């Protein structure tokens, strides 16, 4: 099971949602699925095209979480057993413009 490490910007994004409890609950649910199974189909795991090492998962129809892997296998594929650095929680379009 990967260890989730929030970045400073991730924590700032969460703080901005503190008055919107429903979004906080959806983020927590997505992270729980992600922690137990990073390939869960409901997360809609995707690479972020304009950032070669960033990935994203779905929170809901509007929001996504970006993250980066801390380790990669010799083949260059991500090592899903290592830590995951949570980068941002933003709307879909904003996240793909600036994932970090």
CATH classification at residue 52: 3.30.2310.20
**Which residues in the chain land under pLDDT 50?**
none
- According to the model, what pLDDT value does residue 19 have? 94
Residue with tokens 């941002």: 88
- According to the model, what pLDDT value does residue 31 have? 95
- According to the model, what pLDDT value does residue 30 have? 96
- According to the model, what pLDDT value does residue 2 have? 76
- Is the Cβ–Cβ distance between 59 and 95 less than 8 Å? no
Domain that holds residue 34: 4-97
Q: Give how many domains the chain has, as a whole number.
A: 1
What does each C-alpha distance from 80 to 9, 72, 76, 92 come to in angstroms?
A: 22, 8, 12, 23
- According to the model, what pLDDT value does residue 70 have? 76
- According to the model, what pLDDT value does residue 79 have? 74
Is pTM beyond 0.85? Reply is yes
């Amino acid at each position: 099971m990967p260890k989730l490490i929030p970045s400073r910007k991730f924590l700032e994004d969460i703080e901005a949602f503190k008055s919107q409890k429903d979004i906080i609950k959806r983020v927590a649910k997505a992270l729980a699925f992600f922690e137990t199974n990073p390939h869960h189909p409901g997360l809609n795991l995707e690479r972020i095209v304009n950032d070669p090492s960033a990935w994203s998962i779905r929170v809901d129809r509007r929001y996504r979480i970006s993250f980066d892997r801390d380790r990669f296998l010799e083949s260059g594929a991500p090592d899903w057993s290592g830590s995951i650095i949570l980068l941002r929680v933003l709307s879909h379009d904003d996240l793909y413009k600036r994932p970090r």
